[in-house]
């Protein structure tokens, strides 16, 4: 058996063109800038902004995993706990070759804003491992997940820090995380720690409606936007970047409302079908094959052609920093609904707004995921299981209320929806800091 210890740094990082992420993009700085702008607009006390400008804890773990070949590889995992004033840290786990501490810090801060905006008793956190989950076997994926969970140890817990799926992770990964954690806490606690992760498969203590929740939440936002702008969704068209959990569920749900998806893309390429894709079939295909590559129902197009495809709605549901100035100039749509976190960079956002394209910002638009994660956590605490109708009905109320609050704030303070979403979150967090004051 080959016992060589190889460093994770030897794993090739995909070229920027494949990953779509220019190396120098400073996502954390971008989120900081929005925090500063929103703090001004919402008139937040400077000390509150100072506290929120850095995460509370930044955890880095390096852990070994034996691969199928017998080789031992070292993996680097992160968990950033941004803020837990309103409740336990909460946020997804990402498996991707481009995961970095600063990106995880940016995503963790955004979780704090999302939980506060959605009035959830959670704070914000995020985690990840820097590797390509498509490059390992299922057994390796399980060992990596279990060893990472073990390495995090007491840094996570159902009342302390609660992970969930994000890019490259799934309900299956959450089931392995929960199982590992429950085996670490001792027999007497085993049954009471299901809520250590959310987004679990239903049979393992997940909730109905969680798998599609982020897409469903985005659709509720789009419905509110359509109502506000007297826009008829039935018969309209859409393009979607990223056809994983968020992108595929958004397309499937919107197809039932008469919205036809005419262009799709993922890490393998882009496809066009002017007649509209069968979103269900494409979702099944991706489930079976791991990507849209080779799907027979569309014509391959370039990334440039994808962004230049005229449609009513564009739903970026892949990664951050996908819509820069060039992409924004090319886009001919009425609405960008951000399923992904941070898909528009600031230059791209400026161009979109100049062109009069509305943006449903990530902190609002994709918060359906954490909202239904909260419903799952509550059900785990109470040993209940709610129907899908109940979950969806609660989510609808929550998303529509948040949309109205953000839209009203933006109108009253004459700011963009994104700054409004941050601003409302900051006001809610500030109110608690003012009451509780700073220890000691
Ligand atoms: P996923 O892993 O299920 O899907 C990601 C998709 O993005 C895949 O189709 C993948 O091929 C595509 N992709 C990756 N790199 C790409 C590239 N360079 N160019 C084009 N496409 C690329 O992940 P997901 O859970 O659907 O997450 C997507 C986005 O939504 C992320 O920004 C995530 O943070 C955000 N989000 C997810 C949830 C959730 O509940 N899963 C909740 C809120 C926000």
Condensed to tens digits (0 to 9), the pLDDT of residues 59-87 reads: 999 999 999 999 999 999 999 999 999 99
* pLDDT for res 325: 98
Measuring from each residue's beta carbon to the nearest atom of ligand 1, which residues come in under 6 Å?
19-20, 165-168, 214, 241-247, 265-267, 291, 317-319, 339-341, 366, 369
Cis peptide before 440 (omega within 30 of 0): yes
pTM: 0.94
Q: How many angstroms separate the CA atoms of 46 and 222, rounded? A: 34
Average pLDDT over the chain, rounded to an integer = 94
Residue 22 has pLDDT above 80, yes or no: no
For 1-10, 189-198, 341-350, 419-428, which range has the lowest pLDDT when averaged over its residues? 1-10
Q: How many angstroms separate the CA atoms of 234 and 107, rounded? A: 34
Task: Tell me which of 19, 245, 279, 302 to substitute to probe ligand 1's pocket, judged by most ligand atoms within 8 Å of the beta carbon.
Answer: 245
Q: How many angstroms separate the CA atoms of 6 and 282, rounded? A: 38
Residue 362 has pLDDT above 60, yes or no: yes
Whole-number percent of the chain with pLDDT over 70: 95
Give the residue, by CA position, lying nearest to ligand 1 atom 14: 267
Output the CA 244–ligand 1 centroid distance in Å.
6
Residue 11 has pLDDT above 70, yes or no: no
Cα-based distances in Å from 15 to 19, 329, 342: 6, 24, 20
Give the residue, by CA position, lying nearest to ligand 1 atom 27: 167
Helix (H, G, I), strand (E, B) or coil at 100: coil
Please state whether beta strands 335-337 and 358-360 pair in parallel, antiparallel, or not at all (unpaired). parallel
User: What's the whole-number mean pLDDT along residues 109-119?
Assistant: 98
Task: Tell me which of 22, 105, 131, 166 to substitute to probe ligand 1's pocket, judged by most ligand atoms within 8 Å of the beta carbon.
Answer: 166
Mind listing the pLDDT tens digit for each residue in 232-260?
Answer: 999 999 999 999 999 999 999 999 999 99
Output the CA 3–ligand 1 centroid distance in Å.
35
Mind listing the pLDDT tens digit for each residue in 293-308?
Answer: 999 999 999 999 999 9
Catalytic residues: 126
Question: Binning pLDDT at 50, 70 and 90, where does residue 23 land?
Answer: low
* pLDDT for res 191: 86
* pLDDT for res 433: 98
Output the CA 245–ligand 1 centroid distance in Å.
7
Phi, psi of 210, rounded to the nearest 5 degrees: -75, -40
Give the residue, by CA position, lying nearest to ligand 1 atom 30: 340
């Amino acid at each position: 058996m080959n016992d060589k210890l190889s460093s994770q740094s030897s794993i090739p990082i995909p070229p920027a063109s494949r990953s779509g992420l220019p190396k120098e993009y400073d996502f954390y700085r971008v989120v900081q800038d929005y925090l500063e702008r929103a703090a001004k607009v919402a008139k937040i006390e400077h000390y509150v902004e100072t506290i929120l400008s850095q995460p509370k804890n930044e955890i880095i773990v390096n852990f070994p995993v034996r691969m199928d070949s017998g080789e031992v590889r070292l993996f680097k995992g992160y968990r950033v706990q941004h803020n837990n004033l309103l409740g336990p840290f909460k946020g997804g786990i990402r498996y991707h070759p481009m995961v970095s501490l600063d990106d995880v810090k940016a995503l963790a801060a955004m979780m704090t804003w999302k939980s506060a905006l959605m009035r959830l008793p959670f704070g914000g956190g995020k985690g990840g491992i820097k590797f390509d989950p498509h490059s390992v076997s299922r057994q390796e994926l399980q060992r990596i997940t279990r060893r990472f969970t073990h390495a995090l140890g007491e840094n996570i817990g159902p009342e302390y820090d609660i992970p969930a799926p994000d890019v490259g992770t799934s309900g299956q990964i959450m089931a392995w995380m929960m199982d590992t954690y429950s085996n670490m806490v001792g027999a007497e606690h085993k049954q009471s720690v299901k809520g250590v992760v959310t987004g679990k498969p239903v049979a393992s203590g997940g909730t109905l409606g969680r798998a599609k929740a982020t897409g469903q939440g985005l659709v509720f936002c789009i419905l509110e936007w359509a109502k506000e702008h007297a826009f008829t969704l039935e018969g309209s068209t859409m393009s979607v970047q990223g056809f994983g959990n968020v992108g595929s569920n958004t397309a499937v749900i919107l197809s039932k409302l008469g919205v036809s998806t005419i262009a799709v893309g993922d890490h393998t390429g882009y496809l066009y079908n002017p007649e509209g894709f069968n979103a269900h079939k494409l979702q099944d295909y991706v489930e079976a094959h791991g990507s849209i590559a080779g799907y027979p129902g569309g014509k391959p197009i370039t990334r440039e052609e994808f962004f230049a495809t005229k449609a009513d709605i564009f739903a970026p549901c892949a990664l951050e920093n996908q819509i820069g100035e060039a992409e924004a100039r090319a886009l001919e749509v009425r609405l960008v609904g951000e399923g992904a976190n941070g898909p528009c960079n600031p230059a791209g956002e400026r161009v979109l707004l100049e062109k009069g394209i509305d943006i449903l910002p990530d902190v609002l638009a994709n918060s359906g995921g954490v909202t239904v994660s909260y419903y799952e956590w509550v059900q785990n605490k109470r040993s209940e299981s709610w129907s899908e109708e109940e979950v969806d009905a609660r989510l609808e109320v929550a998303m529509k209320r948040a949309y109205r609050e953000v839209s009203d704030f933006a109108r009253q303070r004459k700011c963009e929806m994104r700054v409004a979403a941050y601003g409302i979150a900051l006001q809610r967090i500030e109110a608690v800091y003012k009451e509780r004051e700073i220890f000691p």
